[in-house]
Structure 1
């Protein structure tokens, strides 16, 4: 049947049995395709029936489907005519792993960060009403994303406005990691409370048996059912928010969902439909470990064995093991994560120190302010967060951490390009939004051993917040120091001597700079390569020495050129009235870089050894003049 589905209209005439058969075929299709391409398997296997029901009942793109994050949008892509492109999933110029507006008219909202769907749905519902249109707006949000503060802010507004809007709560007890918190416990209570469901069903059965007057009692019965809710299920949080609550319903029972969605569509005002699904449904390895299969690499279908390249450990793994080592020596150390214990390399830490592992759920703002307060009370919180998700806590970093000069350690993972997750997940802006904040120290290692030393530095640092950013790649396989020693803050490292020019590089770009130096060596050009590991503070002594020598500078960084590390070098020379310098910055230009491999993304923006060598040669001729200054210091 799957070959016959070219758009949502092809679902309209199918029977329930045919929709069930189609669900099985879609699951098999996803299991086979993702075994080659990798991708978000478990979340999509869990929403097959739900997605089919939505497209069966409603009329996309006139009716708006807003998927929170988009991890669960693969079935939507299949139904809306993109099945033939799944071989290109998450590849360069291929199908995005998320909802993508320029891919299809059916993709009306795109997001790589959670908890945005309800605000977007409210905006679309308001615009619809202001324009006098009649289309439906349906937001599909997970129980994990519902813990985000932004989602709760939107619920508050939705309940107050009373506009027609359907919220589908896809409740699978997971986001990426198992969900935590009071809201999760509340949903668990609803999920397992059979008394309410049984009483509601018995009441409906009783009414249906009353001839003639059964329908007339419907409104009274609804009030009675409301009373049953308050009697039998404590809280009824969503109804207090002003939404009509329907469910819970089995998200894999198409007939039940069709009935409930039709009921939701008939109600005036906002409705929340509570759908219980199972992540990974239909593929046993994913059912048994939905975290592992959230973002799967390619795998063997029969065994479920992931096909990963063998090599040095990833920076994330080195961070996790080093934090355990440090925590064994310092009982003040706590790990804070916003729902990413696995992705941030903290699962082993959680096993070793369960009482010192704090998962706050999808709540980056809360995590940041919590860290500030813990630090001010003498603890040593390590806030482990992806660079892209730290963007969500910017105000708290400024207002609660840096303004208080709190001794918080930021472990900023996924700094730089992240590959196939694309532009919503790249960690390329944190230098620009962090380096100008007073009191904050910002570091980046050139290899995994230097990461370990920076972590030792950060734990021993007691003069305010300190951040270490590191990439989503494997380390270089360098030898690890047996005894951890701190590094001097504000001091750079010359890793290769040279006379013609100086390359200031950070993180993985140090290796790129060394490769460029080798290319130039073959042409008789000698280049100095500096590991500028302290992004803030700068090594001012070295910068002044370079100016005295009159050497041209190439800054190489896998981060935004606007506001990045190179900008801080330019600012330094300007503030010190040092002129006559030749400085070229090679970083990520003013554009969003789409999904591809990290290597392809680097090539796309010119972060290569060949480009670096070419740029160095372009700043050499006639530029070897000494800089002058009115105020050397």
Structure 2
């Protein structure tokens, strides 16, 4: 039985010696590589924080002293140390362990923060609550990455934390990157600080001091672990003598670091100091993403930030990846950029995941990574548009939530030609509630003058993206889902107003038959056509149309709705404020009384699970859609 089998809570960790802690760290890495290789997940970030997470739980008293992980995709080690190691076979599976902190799983999980830059604000609020409850002596710990510190919300929180004397411990997990290498002036400063950690070995006199120390310790008969601890203390003493540093000198906050993030002794020394310090303090920890697993460390793209199923030895993917929606967009953006000098591209620290890396390599002067700062990205794009450019802002759908005010007031209000490309729209699957992109249609549809496209296939993505960047009098949005893209779904006919007819019943309807119009949004077109196919020969005659541009409502849809017995809007979003709502409002204004039904997500946060499982759970797979359409038609016929 290994040490890992004895760990059911942080209390068990505190009973271990330093050599045992190091042995446990090795066991945790083995577990992570084995389990995450089988399920997929955030491998690199968690390998990088093994020792740091152990030291945090060794020093602080969770859950009384909350440990909040910013983004929390790096909370796997935290889950192991708080009694969930046996559940890792279910990681990111439906009904299994979440890939982020989850309040329903453990009292040690205070938040479900999986959008970056929020942890410091949580910590600020929690520390204020503790002060008012008479528990101000307890610490609140926030673990925030250098990438997350490029987000403005962190700086707003820092401004408040530094102004008080509350016991907030800010642990900066500095590995030089988020998804991508951290950028900007702050990143440059961190690089300078990080370099000083390496520089201690070349300080004048350092080697001589160390050799002298070794001789002295040897003459005293100190060997083994005692020698290691003494030499480490000597090393730390030299370091702090020759390397006085600060991270945020203007804020006046106590700073300790940089600390070697894979040295348990150095970590516990620094964190013990923070635990006993009265007031806010920053502990700057330098870690290596993917530490201990060569395939991750050597992966130059993202150091295995997030993986699918992989070989646990080589790190090679075990499932073939089909061409994806993102790659189709990436190729079309490059074509457009070769044709138009005014096309520029922006992203928020996610050039690779959003398909902008090829653009950045070909047109580096026209590519802008603004860090984890979606709000800034959208308004900066508006400024570029004011300067005569046509910006393309590529972000995940779920992260548009953070830039909505800027889209509404900084772009929409002044009618600037900015194109937002929303990757991972709709259900994303295993990342769960915070990463599902089911809100973008409801959000974007209320911006006056906006145009929103939902391509159903690769050909339409290319076509609608080209149409979007041709617009010069307001914002446009092109949204598409996560994963592989299927075959093109050719239209039977394109109506004069641009609506594509994908399926229609044969022959004339009898008096006993009902005509149902399905308005299919985006990738749901394939399932809608399947519903029409299954309906052949029944008393329900199904016509399927793809509006292509779903906002504003195309007047042709009103003509089609007027001729139908029932309209069903089938969309990969939420019922409230979605395309069904918009069409219903338009039908009401036009005086149409055709019954309207919705196939969309109810008022929920869809949980983690595969895309197919989630769609089935909420009645949005093809079979469920068929059953619903025929049930509604039967009720209408009665």
Q: Does 1:588 align with 2:595?
A: no
* Distance of 1:330 and 1:469 partners within structure 2: 22
Change (3 A) 1:622 1:303: closer
Deviation at 1:539, TM superposition (A): 1.6
Q: TM-score, normalised by structure 1?
A: 0.90
| Structure 1 match to 2:194 | 191
| Structure 2 match to 1:42 | 44
| Structure 2 match to 1:119 | 121
Q: Does 1:51 align with 2:53?
A: yes
Q: Does 1:553 align with 2:567?
A: yes
| Structure 2 match to 1:211 | none
| Structure 1 match to 2:312 | 301
1:362 counterpart SS class: coil
User: Would the aligned equivalents of 2:499 and 2:556 in 1 still touch at CA under 8 Å?
Assistant: no
| Structure 2 match to 1:215 | none
Q: Does 1:146 align with 2:149?
A: yes
| Structure 2 match to 1:12 | 14
| Structure 1 match to 2:619 | 606
Q: Which of 269, 272, 277 matches 2:282?
A: 272
Change (3 A) 1:489 1:294: farther
| Structure 1 match to 2:161 | 158
* Distance of 1:240 and 1:410 partners within structure 2: 36
| Structure 1 match to 2:630 | 617
* Distance of 2:313 and 2:369 partners within structure 1: 34
* Distance of 2:84 and 2:138 partners within structure 1: 24
- 1:554-588: CA deviation from partner (whole Å, max 9, x where unpaired): 11111000110000111001122x14311111100
How many pairs align?
Answer: 594
1:71 counterpart SS class: coil
Deviation at 1:351, TM superposition (A): 1.3
Deviation at 1:122, TM superposition (A): 0.8
User: Would the aligned equivalents of 2:321 and 2:484 in 1 still touch at CA under 8 Å?
Assistant: no
| Structure 2 match to 1:520 | 535
- 1:228-286: CA deviation from partner (whole Å, max 9, x where unpaired): 87xx65xx342321310001010011111111111112221100000000000000010
Deviation at 1:546, TM superposition (A): 2.7
- 1:383-439: CA deviation from partner (whole Å, max 9, x where unpaired): 001110011011110111011100101101111000000010011111111111112
User: Would the aligned equivalents of 1:431 and 1:559 in 2 still touch at CA under 8 Å?
Assistant: yes
Segment drifting more, 493-502 vs 302-311? 302-311
| Structure 2 match to 1:96 | 98
1:272 counterpart SS class: strand
Q: Which of 448, 451, 455 matches 1:445?
A: 455
Moved over 4 A (4+): 194-202, 225-229, 487-490, 621-625
Change (3 A) 1:303 1:228: closer
1:22 counterpart SS class: helix
Q: Which of 484, 490, 497 matches 1:474?
A: 484
Q: Which of 479, 501, 513 matches 1:494?
A: 501
Deviation at 1:502, TM superposition (A): 0.6
Deviation at 1:22, TM superposition (A): 0.6
Change (3 A) 1:82 1:348: same
- 1:57-86: CA deviation from partner (whole Å, max 9, x where unpaired): 111111110000111100000010001100
Change (3 A) 1:254 1:406: same
Deviation at 1:112, TM superposition (A): 1.3
User: Would the aligned equivalents of 2:197 and 2:259 in 1 still touch at CA under 8 Å?
Assistant: no
1:161 counterpart SS class: coil
Q: Which of 64, 83, 86 matches 1:84?
A: 86
* Distance of 2:416 and 2:97 partners within structure 1: 43
| Structure 1 match to 2:75 | 73
- 1:121-180: CA deviation from partner (whole Å, max 9, x where unpaired): 011111001000132211100000011100011001000122111100000001111110
User: Would the aligned equivalents of 2:138 and 2:167 in 1 still touch at CA under 8 Å?
Assistant: no
Q: Does 1:63 align with 2:65?
A: yes
User: Would the aligned equivalents of 2:517 and 2:560 in 1 still touch at CA under 8 Å?
Assistant: no
Q: TM-score, normalised by structure 2?
A: 0.89
Change (3 A) 1:622 1:420: closer
Change (3 A) 1:85 1:136: same
User: Would the aligned equivalents of 1:238 and 1:272 in 2 still touch at CA under 8 Å?
Assistant: no
User: Would the aligned equivalents of 1:2 and 1:26 in 2 still touch at CA under 8 Å?
Assistant: yes
Deviation at 1:315, TM superposition (A): 0.5
User: Would the aligned equivalents of 1:338 and 1:363 in 2 still touch at CA under 8 Å?
Assistant: yes
The equivalences for 1:312-327 within 5 A come to 313-327=323-337
Change (3 A) 1:179 1:195: closer
2:465 counterpart SS class: helix
Deviation at 1:525, TM superposition (A): 3.3
| Structure 1 match to 2:176 | 173
Deviation at 1:491, TM superposition (A): 2.8
2:129 counterpart SS class: helix
Change (3 A) 1:281 1:538: same
| Structure 1 match to 2:216 | none
Q: Which of 505, 508, 527 matches 2:523?
A: 508
Could you list the runs of 5+ residues in structure 2 that have no partner in the other structure? 210-238, 510-514
- 1:575-624: CA deviation from partner (whole Å, max 9, x where unpaired): 22x14311111100011111000000100110022222222223335858
Change (3 A) 1:522 1:33: farther
Segment drifting more, 488-497 vs 556-565? 488-497
Change (3 A) 1:115 1:543: same
| Structure 2 match to 1:629 | none
1:269 counterpart SS class: coil
* Distance of 1:550 and 1:336 partners within structure 2: 43
User: Would the aligned equivalents of 2:457 and 2:489 in 1 still touch at CA under 8 Å?
Assistant: no
Change (3 A) 1:490 1:175: farther
Deviation at 1:551, TM superposition (A): 2.4
Change (3 A) 1:201 1:561: farther
Could you list the runs of 5+ residues in structure 1 that have no partner in the other structure? 206-224, 482-486, 626-633
CA RMSD of aligned residues (A): 2.5
| Structure 2 match to 1:631 | none
Q: Does 1:28 align with 2:30?
A: yes
- 1:295-320: CA deviation from partner (whole Å, max 9, x where unpaired): 11111122221123343x11111111
| Structure 2 match to 1:533 | 548
User: Would the aligned equivalents of 2:490 and 2:502 in 1 still touch at CA under 8 Å?
Assistant: no
2:330 counterpart SS class: helix
